[in-house]
Amino acid sequence: MFTHIMNDNIWGDSMNYQETYRQSIEDPEGFWGNAAAEIDWIEPWQKVLDDTNPPFFRWFSGGVLNTCYNAVDRHVERGRGEQTALIYDSPVTNQQRRYSYRQLQSEVARLAGVLRSLGVEKGERVLIYMPMIPEAVMAMLACARIGAVHSVVFGGFAANELATRIDDAQPRVVLTASCGIEVARVIEYKPLLDRALEIASFEPQHTVIYQRPQHQAALIPGRDFDWVTLCEGASDADCVPIAATDPLYILYTSGTTGLPKGVVRDNGGHAVAMLWSMRHVYGVQPGETYWAASDIGWVVGHSYIVYAPLLNGNTTILYEGKPVGTPDPGAFWRVIAEHEVSVMFTAPTAFRAIKKEDPQGNYLQHYSLPKFRALFLAGERCDPDTLQWAKTLLRVPVIDHWWQTETAWAIAANCLGIEPLPVKLGSPSCAVPGYAIEVLDENGVAAKDGEIGSIMIKLPMPPGCLPTLWNDDDRFVSSYLARHPGYYLSGDAGYRDEDGYIWVMSRIDDIINVAGHRLSTGAIEEVIAAHPDVAECAVIGAADALKGELPVGLMVVKFGVDRNLDEIAQEVVALVRERIGPVCAFKKVVVVARLPKTRSGKILRGTMKKIADGTPYNLPATIDDPGILEEIASALRTIGYAQA
């Protein structure tokens, strides 16, 4: 259904979507070679696309550049020195700070000098476990400046998850802060880090702590250093030449087991893709203010709080707050108005939170948003109600776009910087130039228009997408490339319609999406199963009006356990919070006598999800004992699900 046609090319751009897309697929080398001219190179590339070692493809091989130079220094050299690069807006601490490109350069150069003084060399890893403060952005850029590979870990993860990442990335240095602030709650980071370092087998040499005024962390002499003191004593470090194909960062994301996948990002392809996407997907010109309300711990934060806007010479906003409660559901409108934001990006869940508290949008009346011209949503399926609500309220295009940690930028989107397409509610529009999307059935045969299949991307993927997983080429191939050779498996199922629009319907694996955060139910099950009284368990992603999905556990206790079942359930909830972290939002678990299975012993999670959501389901032909489903429904009713 076409719901809204944007006939005006409000950006005055004369590009045509079909033609641009065609060029990108038919002549990727010409297309991305042109795009790369916007980046400053120290040495030109020898090959735009190096396809000599399939299925591993490399972009701009032979090229040498520095991502930090492109994001910061060159803007100072070319007249943007006094333009604001970064606005820190923190309603939770009641403060705002602005950094011009010149100030950002100076802070980053100094911090890079600190890393150098701690012995960090090109190619070595630095783990960043920090709240949403400017020093976190500076830390990422400081790593890029000296060719260190950063790995940012989201603050809402627990010590155990941090330890897993420390063991995999083996960082020489860990950068952290004394605390994060969740609305009015101070979350101490240092005890979490100390615990992680106890659990981890790998031992980083140093930790550097940024002491926030809200809480002073105790430092361990010889291992822990005070951030500010180190900066005072360090000298500046300059940008070093980095191969385009060298890693810029590792970002861990949920896999189908408890072990997260270390998505690797290169320097050259990433810089080219980031800058191109700012102009062509988001339609943002240098000098404008762009705001991604996410967290630097997620890919959205990496790409659209830090790298893309800075590479494009924009003003970017680092917002330490929530859409509601800091202090009210007008928080987003205040930020857009106060900082004259042109384009904003967040997850649909944030808008659902605002809509829930202020359904009439009354808070918007306090603000005027003259510069605001588009809202982009991604990170989870966008429900048409929320999109329509935002569009009616804000009176700007609201664009759903689809992508994932692995790609770093949009796979399907309505590219406002090329040619705005008619919007179909519920679809993130068409393939973005560079992405050859195909929907395949389980035999690898192209599905017909409208037929659901596995959404795949034909290799090579465009610049910016992951070249591999950290230290694990085999897992990269087995996770993404083995299903149908020649294609990348996105993990999402959906279809393409007769107009070429992509419809992303569900995951084909155990990944669920909780408030835009990607979680593996398998990883939660591993934790529950570790409880001494649990015999077996299953976790499903039940529909939630605010967060999209919420994990719900069903567990069977071991024979002979005669403890209070509520107590066991509470312990399991606490265990998941302790092992994975609060971000999991795992609060609902129920004890059942048995789990429904197929005759071959496969737990019927899909059927249980439908029961929990109160949606119709077919009795699985292979079910062991159909009577069990009523038992499951009745257990789920006790925790507020299966209401039909």
| Helix (H), strand (E), coil (C) string for 283-298 | CCCCCCEEEECCCCCC
Residue 242 binds which one of ligand AMP, ligand COA, none, with CB within 5 to 8 A depending on kind? none
Residue 294 binds which one of ligand COA, ligand AMP, none, with CB within 5 to 8 A depending on kind? ligand COA
- Give me the helix-helix angle, 101-117 and 134-146, nearest 10°: 60
CB atoms within 10 A of CB 2: 11
Q: Which of 120, 149, 585, 589 binds ligand COA (CB under 6 A)?
A: 585
Residue 582 binds which one of ligand AMP, ligand COA, none, with CB within 5 to 8 A depending on kind? ligand COA
491 makes contact with ligand AMP (CB under 6 A)? yes
Residue 279 binds which one of ligand COA, ligand AMP, none, with CB within 5 to 8 A depending on kind? none
Site size with ligand COA, rule: CB under 6 A: 24
353 makes contact with ligand COA (CB under 6 A)? yes
User: Position of tokens 């689809």?
Assistant: 402
- Nearest residue (CB) to ligand AMP, 42 versus 508: 508
Near ligand COA in 239-298, by CB under 6 A: 294-295, 298
3-state secondary structure of 438: strand
- Nearest residue (CB) to ligand AMP, 410 versus 534: 410
- Nearest residue (CB) to ligand AMP, 113 versus 283: 283
* Whole-number Å distance between alpha carbons of 497 and 369: 35
Q: Which of 380, 510, 549, 613 binds ligand AMP (CB under 6 A)?
A: 380
Q: Which of 155, 268, 379, 463 binds ligand AMP (CB under 6 A)?
A: 379
Token couple for 486? 């020649």
Stretch that binds ligand COA, among 335-343, 486-494, 581-589, 612-620 (CB under 6 A): 581-589
Burial class (CB in 10 A: 0-12, 13-18, 19+), 82: exposed
Q: Please, what is the minimum distance in Å from the beta carbon of residue 405 to ligand COA?
A: 10
* CA-only gyration radius of the chain, Å: 24
| Helix (H), strand (E), coil (C) string for 371-422 | CCCEEEECCCCCCHHHHHHHHHHHCCCEEECECCCCCCCCCEECCCCCCCCC
CB 49 within 8 A of CB 36: no
429 makes contact with ligand AMP (CB under 6 A)? no
* Whole-number Å distance between alpha carbons of 12 and 380: 31
3-state secondary structure of 451: coil
User: Position of tokens 């329509």?
Assistant: 388
Q: Which residues contact 449 (CB under 8 A, 6 or more apart)?
A: 495, 496, 497, 498
Stretch that binds ligand AMP, among 90-98, 180-188, 337-345, 375-383 (CB under 6 A): 375-383
Residue 353 binds which one of ligand AMP, ligand COA, none, with CB within 5 to 8 A depending on kind? ligand COA
Q: Which residues pair with 591 in a beta bridge?
A: 555
Stretch that binds ligand AMP, among 30-38, 138-146, 402-410, 534-542 (CB under 6 A): 402-410
Q: Which of 320, 383, 492, 510 binds ligand AMP (CB under 6 A)?
A: 492
Helix (H) or strand (E) holding 338: helix 331-338
400 makes contact with ligand AMP (CB under 6 A)? yes
- Nearest residue (CB) to ligand AMP, 530 versus 545: 545
Q: Which residues pair with 247 in a beta bridge?
A: 266
63 makes contact with ligand COA (CB under 6 A)? no
Residue 349 binds which one of ligand COA, ligand AMP, none, with CB within 5 to 8 A depending on kind? ligand COA
* Whole-number Å distance between alpha carbons of 213 and 201: 32
Near ligand AMP in 516-535, by CB under 6 A: 518
Report how far apart, in Å, the C-alpha atoms of 6 and of each of 18, 56, 419, 591, 603 are.
Answer: 16, 39, 9, 52, 47
* Whole-number Å distance between alpha carbons of 174 and 129: 7
Q: Which of 582, 624, 628, 633 binds ligand COA (CB under 6 A)?
A: 582
Helix (H) or strand (E) holding 606: helix 605-613
489 makes contact with ligand AMP (CB under 6 A)? no
Nearest to 340 by CA among 393, 291, 391: 291
Residue 92 binds which one of ligand AMP, ligand COA, none, with CB within 5 to 8 A depending on kind? none
317 makes contact with ligand COA (CB under 6 A)? no
Stretch that binds ligand COA, among 100-108, 342-350, 428-436, 460-468 (CB under 6 A): 342-350
428 makes contact with ligand AMP (CB under 6 A)? yes
Near ligand COA in 504-523, by CB under 6 A: 515-517
358 makes contact with ligand COA (CB under 6 A)? no
* Whole-number Å distance between alpha carbons of 620 and 498: 32
414 makes contact with ligand AMP (CB under 6 A)? no
- Nearest residue (CB) to ligand AMP, 164 versus 513: 513
User: Position of tokens 């070692």?
Assistant: 53
Q: Which of 268, 283, 323, 467 binds ligand COA (CB under 6 A)?
A: 323
Near ligand COA in 142-161, by CB under 6 A: 155-156
Report how far apart, in Å, the C-alpha atoms of 507 and of each of 179, 409, 413, 466, 606 are.
Answer: 35, 19, 19, 19, 11
Residues in contact with ligand COA by the rule CB under 6 A: 155-156, 180, 182, 187, 294-295, 298, 300, 322-324, 346-347, 349-350, 353, 379, 515-517, 582-583, 585
Residues in contact with ligand AMP by the rule CB under 6 A: 253, 299, 378-382, 400-405, 428, 491-492, 504, 507, 513, 518
